[in-house]
Amino acid sequence: MPGTKSHRFAAIMAGGKGTRFWPESTARRPKQLLDLLGTQRSLLRQSYERALGIVPPENVIVVTGQSIADDVRRDLPEVDASNVLVEPAARNTAPCVGWAAVHVSARDPDGVMAVLPADHYIRSVDSFHEVMRSALARAERAGTVVTIGIRPTRPETGYGYIEGGEVVEGDVLTALRFVEKPDRLTAEHYLMDGNFYWNAGIFNFTAGRILEDFRAYMPDLAAGLDRIGEGIRRGDRARLAGIVEDVYSRIAAISIDYGVMEKKPAGAIEVIPAEFGWSDLGSWGAIYEHLPCDSEGNVVRGGAIPALVDVKGCLLSTTRAGKVIAIAGVEDLVVIDTEEAVLVVPRSRDQDVRRLHDLVLKRKGE
């Protein structure tokens, strides 16, 4: 619609630490900045390019942390500096969403926004665009919070779930409740039941809607956001930075799920079921599943030169082009080499990476 101003915004949340991909991801180079799937673009950049299918470029906002802000700017040179919100401290997702909402609201009192994680995988970008357009339209029209629920294909215990209720309109269902990562038996029940969806961490709402919710359920945060809003209206960037710093130093680290979503009454949240080939890429095992393999199920990443004898189902990776990874007589192992470390862990135990990373920080006295 040339000439028409879009009310639609996308807020990409790019503050994650991604320690589950240590040693390749580090505090200074977290998951969203990595090219985990060998596409020559970081997960963040892919998220940005996907967002361009639903909002105009000037309406893409990126929220990130100070330690990686420069890298984020380098990765997304097209994004105007004023659209990169750099949090002075990590305070989980509620403040991050809040600041983005205030930013949108100041630019467009009728703004509607999609909150998008920066580090997920989406196979069908077309389906994603379709679903997101319908979700933003619904959020704009109904003034509800509209989430995306991924139809489960396996009894996954690593994801949160959303229980869908009755049909409200078209594809839109009431969201009955959010549930945390279930145990295996519960996950199998969810899969059989058919009304449970994976929570993809994507939210759609008008800026006004979510700011009202903060006022109702997180009044301290709402007060802080008011101060930031005032700073934005005054237009003094240096002073605004000072206000943000002060606000962040006082507010609690709380997730948007816990702080708002779980407190809203039934019927105020909706879910649109989707099947666009989503994964949160939560571990090396998930990366393994998304990459091409040889006839023995071995995946070679980066510039690794593999030398394999009786090896099956392994993921091999090095950040040093031309480095050899030589393995004999093992199955289903993850071997990741970087300048800092060599990681060796069975694929079934890839959740231990976080624990190993903690151990390393302790050992190094960090």
Enter the DSSP assignment of 6.
P
Q: What is the b/e burial string over 9-18, where b = at least 16 CB atoms within 10 angstroms of the residue's CB?
A: bbbbbbbbbb
Q: Report the residue from 118, 139, 256, 345 that binds a second copy according to the rule CB under 8 A.
A: 345
Q: Which is closer to a second copy, CB of 154 or CB of 364?
A: 364
Q: How many residues bind a second copy (CB under 8 A)?
A: 38
**CA–CA separation, 3 vs 280, rounded Å?**
37
State in angstroms the smallest separation of the CB of 360 from a second copy: 5
Q: Which is closer to a second copy, CB of 220 or CB of 358?
A: 358
The three-class DSSP label of residue 266 is: coil
Q: Which is closer to a second copy, CB of 51 or CB of 334?
A: 334
Residue 344 engages a second copy in binding (rule: CB under 8 A): yes
Q: Report the residue from 29, 96, 329, 366 that binds a second copy according to the rule CB under 8 A.
A: 329
Q: Report the residue from 192, 238, 309, 321 that binds a second copy according to the rule CB under 8 A.
A: 309
* Close Cβ partners of 77 (under 8 Å, ≥ 6 residues apart): none
Identify whether the C-beta of residue 29 lies closer than 8 Å to the C-beta of residue 71: yes
Residue 318 engages a second copy in binding (rule: CB under 8 A): yes
State in angstroms the smallest separation of the CB of 27 from a second copy: 15
**CA–CA separation, 29 vs 45, rounded Å?**
14
Residue 274 engages a second copy in binding (rule: CB under 8 A): no
Q: Report the residue from 3, 192, 364, 366 that binds a second copy according to the rule CB under 8 A.
A: 364
Structure token pair of residue 259: 């702080």
Structure token pair of residue 273: 């079921």
Residue 294 engages a second copy in binding (rule: CB under 8 A): no
12: nearest Cα among 88, 89, 104: 104
Q: Which is closer to a second copy, CB of 110 or CB of 340?
A: 340
**CA–CA separation, 101 vs 46, rounded Å?**
22
Structure token pair of residue 328: 């004999």
What distance lies between CA 33 and its chain's CA centroid? 12
Contact window for a second copy (CB under 8 A) among 59-67, 68-76, 268-276, 342-350 = 342-350
Q: Report the residue from 69, 70, 363, 366 that binds a second copy according to the rule CB under 8 A.
A: 363
Which positions lie near a second copy, rule CB under 8 A?
Answer: 22-23, 305, 307-310, 318, 323-330, 333, 335, 337, 339-346, 348-349, 352-353, 355-357, 359-360, 363-364
